[in-house]
Amino acid sequence: MKRVVITGAGTINALGQNVPDTLEAMREGRCGIGPLEMRDTDRLAIRIGGQVKGFDPEEVFNRQQIALYDRYTQFTLIAAEEAIRQSGLTFEGELANRSGVVLGTSGGGLTTQDENYRAVYEEGKNRVHPFVVPKLMNNAACSHVSMQYNIKGPSFTVASACASSNHAMGQAFWFVRSGMAPVMVTGGSESMLCFGGIKAWEGLRVMSKDGCRPFSATRNGMVQGEGAGIFVFEEYEHAKARGAEIIAEVAGFAMSSDAADIVMPSKQGAARAISGALADAGLDRERIGYINAHGTGTAANDKTECAAVADVFGTHADELMISSTKSMHGHCIGGTGAVELLSCIMALRDGVIAPTIGYEEPDPECALDCVPNEAREAKVGAALSNAFAFGGLNAVLVLKAA
């Protein structure tokens, strides 16, 4: 089996439009959640979100590109550019033929669907722009990365709601570890902050009207975010041979299905994914110093997740740190695991643990060290990133320091 390392990282999210800005915001415990800026907010019950603001696609893309790129694809390409540039890779010849792109998304081009349903249903128009299908499809972002960078190997999109990007990165990890691909571009993207997207989430009544406060007794629901995280996963010897900077090592991955309920999480399902990932990485549980929690800020997720962590880690659960950066960037759904992997990288590489902000009051059912409100310096050798999706699909990654 090959070793797999990360040699490039990129992002755009409510905290920043690149990795350094995002990590700085996480270090400072800055909140990217604020009033939603979109049409018809007066008809919304939920009016906050982790929206990417101050972003003008016309500064980055030309008119022809914008005609083809939904917002989620735009996010993907911006993050991919940063990641691939950092990796220093150029995809040509055999490397191009064997490398691939596996990305996660839940809603794909939901903004495009929303705008065009509005045009035909509300405005009564009888035709839509010819690119609606190539814009809205869930693999559009993956295909554009492949086209833009000449990456011609195994490429596809994974959809498992809030675990999409963790599932995607798990596949990419396997492709590189098995020797099938020398390099995989992976991660995920989401842009559901459109009127219809918010309305759909409002329907479930799990959204907070005032903020995301994971693990706090005062938490009252999740807050949606948007954005992308993209990484370059590379075979260790390949990276070493070309003198690439290694950001972190991807050490293990596991997934499980609760096979129980379409929305309620299961402690057993989450625990099986966590312990499976540790076993896959061949790491004793005591080696894990930090967990980036799924930590949505709903009553059900946070207590179930804490119970699962306590089950798997035993007494070590009281030693490790577990934080939810969703408190800062919101829940980026199919892209969230990828954005959150950045906090694991910051812990391993920079020795800084991102906080759970908005923390007000301890909840006895979430009695772990969630790094409340302020970032902390700590030396961490290995970290976990949890994602537990609606539908009971769980995916956990293990990272080790380079």
Partner 1 sequence: MNVKDKVVEIIAEQAVLEPSDVKMDHTLEDLGIDSLGLVESIFAIEEAFDISVPFNANDPSESDFDISSVAKIVEGVERLVAEQHA
Whole-angstrom distance, CA of residue 114 vs CA of residue 189: 17
Closer to partner 1 at the Cβ: 147 or 279?
147
Catalytic residue chosen out of the listed positions 167, 331, 332, 366: 331
Catalytic residue chosen out of the listed positions 294, 306, 332, 370: 294
Residue-wise burial string across 282-311, b where 16 or more C-beta atoms lie within 10 A, e elsewhere? ebebebbbbbbbbbbbbeebbbbbbbbbbb
Closer to partner 1 at the Cβ: 124 or 130?
130
Closer to partner 1 at the Cβ: 135 or 213?
135
In the complex, the residues that contact partner 1 under the rule CB under 8 A are 67, 127, 129-131
Q: Is 294 a catalytic residue?
A: yes
Q: Is 366 a catalytic residue?
A: no
Rounded least distance, CB 129 to partner 1, Å = 6
Rounded least distance, CB 115 to partner 1, Å = 15
Q: Is 306 a catalytic residue?
A: no
Rounded least distance, CB 37 to partner 1, Å = 28
Closer to partner 1 at the Cβ: 38 or 119?
119
Closer to partner 1 at the Cβ: 67 or 264?
67
Rounded least distance, CB 76 to partner 1, Å = 20
Catalytic residue chosen out of the listed positions 31, 142, 162, 306: 162
Rounded least distance, CB 134 to partner 1, Å = 8
Cite the active site residues: 162, 294, 331
